[in-house]
């Protein structure tokens, strides 16, 4: 836990939305939960309440704003227990496919162009549910080496890995609790 928080607050860096490093990076983690898929999906899709299951999140603030095309969009601000915030945009919450998609607009994670999806599926066993969390992102530093410390691929990957590895077991615990 402390390691995760340390990773998250390690670098407070602006996100560069326009340009990015050469290669996109990926983190993908999975957890099997002994609970009904609908119950797990209920927790995952609740975009405004991530603090209910993620141990690094102290509180979540939800807001609706118009984007540049004039369409109403949902955003959340995650306030982290270790300090700092992450501002995210909901891309979609599909009840049929049980898939949540969101992206990071700005925040303390040392990543750029981060988009992520959480997919909930029944199985593998009866009464079990599998949650897959996948993110695609770039490192903060967009140019070729030398890369400043904390802005390289490894920093980005380990920060996201930390978030996922702390979150999924906690999601399992919350879903299996009641």
Partner 1 sequence: MQVRIKPTKANKSQQIIILKFPLPLIALISVTLLMSGFALPCFSGSAYITNQGDNTVSVIDTDSNRIIETVKVGLAPVGVVVSAINQRAYISNVDGQSISVIDTIKNQLVNTYPIKGSPVGLLLSPNNKTLYVADWTEDVIYQIDAITMKIQSKIKNGKAPAGMAISPDGKRLYVANRDSDDVSIIDTNTQQISQRISVGKHPFGLAINRSGSELYVVNVISNNVSVLNTTNLKIQTIKVGEHPYCITPSKNGQLLFVTNTQDDSVSVIDLAQKQSIATIKVGEVPEGISMEDKTGNIYIANWGSNQVSVLDSQTLKILTQIKTGDKSRAFGKFILESPSNKTILN
Chain contacts with partner 1 (rule: CB under 8 A): 18-19, 22-24, 26, 28, 91, 101, 115, 134, 136, 143-144
Q: Is 13 helix (H, G, I), strand (E, B) or coil?
A: coil
**Burial group, residue 48, by CB count within 10 angstroms (0-12, 13-18, 19+):** middle
Report how far residue 50's alpha carbon sits from residue 2's, in angstroms, rounded to the nearest whole number.
18
Residue number, 28 or 30, with CB nearest to partner 1? 28
Q: How far is the CB of 56 from partner 1 (least distance, A)?
A: 25
Residue number, 60 or 119, with CB nearest to partner 1? 119
Q: How far is the CB of 177 from partner 1 (least distance, A)?
A: 31
Q: How far is the CB of 34 from partner 1 (least distance, A)?
A: 26
Residue number, 28 or 176, with CB nearest to partner 1? 28
Residue number, 24 or 42, with CB nearest to partner 1? 24
Report how far residue 39's alpha carbon sits from residue 29's, in angstroms, rounded to the nearest whole number.
20
Closest by Cα among 112, 128, 129, 111 to 120: 129
Helices assigned H by DSSP within 22-177: 37-44, 153-177
Q: How far is the CB of 169 from partner 1 (least distance, A)?
A: 23
Provide the token pair at 6.
Answer: 């340390």
């Amino acid at each position: 836990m402390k390691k995760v928080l340390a990773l998250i607050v390690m670098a407070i860096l602006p996100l560069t939305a326009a340009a990015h490093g050469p290669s996109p990076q990926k983190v993908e983690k999975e957890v099997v939960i002994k609970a009904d898929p609908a119950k797990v999906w209920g927790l995952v899709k609740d975009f405004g309440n991530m603090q209910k299951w993620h141990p690094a999140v102290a509180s979540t603030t939800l807001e609706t704003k118009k984007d540049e095309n004039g369409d109403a969009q949902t955003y959340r601000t995650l306030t982290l227990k270790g300090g700092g915030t992450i501002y995210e945009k909901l891309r979609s919450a599909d009840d049929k496919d049980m898939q949540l998609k969101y992206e990071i607009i700005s925040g303390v994670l040392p990543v750029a162009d981060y988009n992520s999806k959480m997919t909930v599926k029944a199985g593998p066993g009866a009464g079990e549910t599998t949650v897959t969390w996948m993110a695609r992102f770039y490192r903060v530093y967009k140019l070729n080496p030398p890369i400043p410390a904390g802005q390289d691929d490894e920093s980005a990957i380990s920060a996201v890995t930390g978030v996922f590895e702390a979150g999924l077991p906690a999601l399992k615990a919350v879903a299996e609790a009641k």
